[in-house]
């Protein structure tokens, strides 16, 4: 694949970024994609490795060596056809997937991996620019009706696949626009939302009916989960009107930090903070928006959501931004012979970190401190990990100034009341219990009700959501028709 000796001749080429001072002034994407020549060099580095671990490292099983080779040969349309055969939304994954395929690249064992993610984005963007992304309207309709609840990447992928084989699909979303956490979680500077909008138009052309502002089931009283629904539909109504129902909502129940002072003003979940900015970027108005202007911001949680809070806070004009991580600082380089081809444990620095952020590792919050009902600081302590247990380090307590605290410690489960309203059994982690066997896969204990994506597996990656949506669509098609031509 690629040039036979390319991996020895060429260095890995990274996508570029616009200067920090320029990109902090707006919420637009700032990544500079590969031009044709740079993409060709990147494709040339793909080895004829015999066993392409990248394929299995990719949850949607993208046929990576093939499209690498086609890019090297400058057959962009052929590369698009290969990529489109396995991934409904490569322009999403080419921007926000952490690229487990690159970790699994054979070249990564003792060198820098092929830039698979940058090639995926380049292929998808060229496909849109050249008009190659077209609706696939089914030749005939089956007369079967399917409701998909939740319009994140799992729900979108499932709805699109089911519509393409002729089912009448209705996609339900409680918020005012399609996309789930892609829309109201991922900042626009990582993925602008026209990427979603044009896919929605494609899906409509393929026969998907879109219903936004509809809450299916119920949220618990006082829930902080984003909900801009204008109407509510009961699970019983869906089960009566549709031949199958797929629950594909997100794992939206944020992990809390129940320490003294948690009820002070100025402490918010990341998923209260981020969706508001996305909504304003879309031209809407938010009363009482959570802002970081001129504030000392502390983000608790060292993952991608925390990084998104860092980037958004800097664009607001925060006075300072500090990000906490409970675990020790990872090594800057992984032990490749030990971890390859699996996802490595190493320090990851995002573009948001590079824009301005102090990072603190092995630190725990003991108490929120405030005045007149509003947070003014945090009492922290350094921690060590011994035999899997966290131990506070004596004499390391300190108080750090904070005007705004954002909790970005991940998500514990889907909203339990939604599953309960359907009568769906939950596993030990609070997710919908549904196995993934090929026979009867993704089915819950409730007749004709299926579950996929974060609703079934818990908090995960966009690429896993797409995989689950595609596989659930096949399972539902088999349930309705007895057989399916959809890919596994």
> For 315-332, what is each residue's pLDDT tens digit?
999 999 999 999 999 999
Rounded-to-integer distance, Cα 121 and Cα 127, Å: 10
Q: What pLDDT is recorded for position 438?
A: 66
CB 365 within 8 A of CB 335: no
CB proximity list for 238: less than 8 A, separation 6 or greater = 147, 149, 216, 245
CB 122 within 8 A of CB 32: no
Residue 381 has pLDDT above 70, yes or no: yes
Please compute the mean of the pLDDT values over residues 397-422 and round it to a whole number: 96
Q: What pLDDT is recorded for position 488?
A: 78
Q: What pLDDT is recorded for position 364?
A: 98
Residue 94 has pLDDT above 90, yes or no: yes
**Would you call 369 helix, strand, or coil by DSSP?**
strand
The model carries a pTM of: 0.96
- pLDDT tens sequence across 1-42: 678 899 999 999 999 999 999 999 999 999 999 999 999 999
Please compute the mean of the pLDDT values over residues 332-347 and round it to a whole number: 93
Q: What pLDDT is recorded for position 191?
A: 98
Rounded-to-integer distance, Cα 76 and Cα 66, Å: 12
Output the average pLDDT for the chain: 96
Residue 203 has pLDDT above 90, yes or no: yes
Beta bridge partners of 364: 381
Rounded-to-integer distance, Cα 234 and Cα 30, Å: 42
**Would you call 269 helix, strand, or coil by DSSP?**
strand
Does 1 or 415 have the greater pLDDT score? 415
- pLDDT tens sequence across 221-252: 889 999 999 999 999 999 999 999 999 999 99
Beta bridge partners of 269: 407
- DSSP per residue over 92-104, as a string? HHHHH---HHHHH
């Amino acid at each position: 694949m690629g040039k036979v000796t390319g991996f020895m001749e060429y260095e890995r080429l990274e996508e570029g970024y616009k200067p920090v001072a320029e990109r902090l002034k707006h919420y637009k994407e700032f990544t500079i994609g590969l031009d044709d020549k740079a993409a060709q060099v990147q494709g040339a580095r793909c080895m004829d490795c015999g066993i392409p671990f990248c394929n299995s490292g990719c949850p949607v099983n993208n046929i990576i060596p093939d499209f690498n080779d086609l890019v090297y040969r400058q057959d962009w349309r052929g590369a698009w056809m290969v990529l489109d055969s396995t991934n409904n939304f490569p322009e999403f994954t080419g921007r926000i997937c952490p690229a487990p395929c690159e970790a699994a690249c054979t070249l990564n064992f003792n060198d820098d991996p092929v830039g698979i993610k940058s090639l995926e984005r380049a292929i998808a963007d060229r496909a849109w620019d050249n008009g190659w992304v077209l609706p696939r309207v089914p030749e005939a309709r089956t007369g079967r009706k399917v409701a998909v609840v939740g319009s994140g990447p799992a729900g979108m992928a499932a709805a699109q696949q089911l519509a393409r084989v002729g089912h009448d699909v209705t996609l339900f979303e409680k918020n005012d626009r399609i996309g789930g956490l892609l829309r109201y979680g991922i900042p626009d500077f990582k993925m602008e939302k026209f990427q979603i909008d044009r896919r929605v138009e494609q899906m409509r052309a393929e026969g998907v009916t879109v219903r936004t502002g509809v809450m299916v089931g119920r949220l618990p009283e006082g829930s902080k989960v984003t909900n801009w629904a204008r109407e509510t539909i009961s699970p019983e109504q869906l089960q009566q009107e549709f031949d199958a129902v797929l629950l594909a909502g997100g794992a939206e129940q944020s992990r809390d930090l129940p320490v003294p002072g948690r009820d002070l003003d100025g402490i918010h979940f990341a998923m209260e903070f981020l969706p508001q900015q996305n909504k304003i970027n879309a031209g809407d108005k938010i009363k009482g928006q959570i802002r970081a202007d001129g504030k000392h911001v502390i983000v608790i949680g060292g993952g991608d959501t925390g990084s998104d809070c860092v980037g958004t806070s800097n664009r607001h004009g925060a006075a300072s931004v500090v990000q906490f991580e409970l675990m020790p600082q990872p090594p800057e380089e992984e032990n490749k012979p030990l971890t390859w081809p699996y996802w490595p444990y190493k320090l990851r620095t995002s573009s948001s970190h590079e824009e301005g952020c102090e990072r603190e590792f092995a630190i725990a919050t003991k108490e929120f401190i405030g005045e007149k009902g509003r947070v003014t600081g945090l009492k922290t302590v350094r921690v060590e990990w011994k035999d899997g247990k966290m131990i506070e380090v004596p004499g390391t307590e300190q108080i750090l100034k904070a005007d705004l605290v954002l909790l970005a410690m991940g998500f514990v489960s889907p909203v339990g009341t939604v599953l309960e309203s359907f009568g769906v059994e939950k596993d030990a982690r609070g997710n919908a219990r549904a196995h993934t066997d090929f026979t009867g896969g993704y089915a819950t204990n409730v007749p004709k009700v299926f579950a996929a994506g974060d609703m079934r597996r818990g908090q995960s990656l966009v690429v896993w959501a797409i995989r689950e949506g595609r596989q659930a669509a096949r399972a539902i098609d088999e349930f309705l028709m007895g057989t399916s031509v959809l890919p596994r």
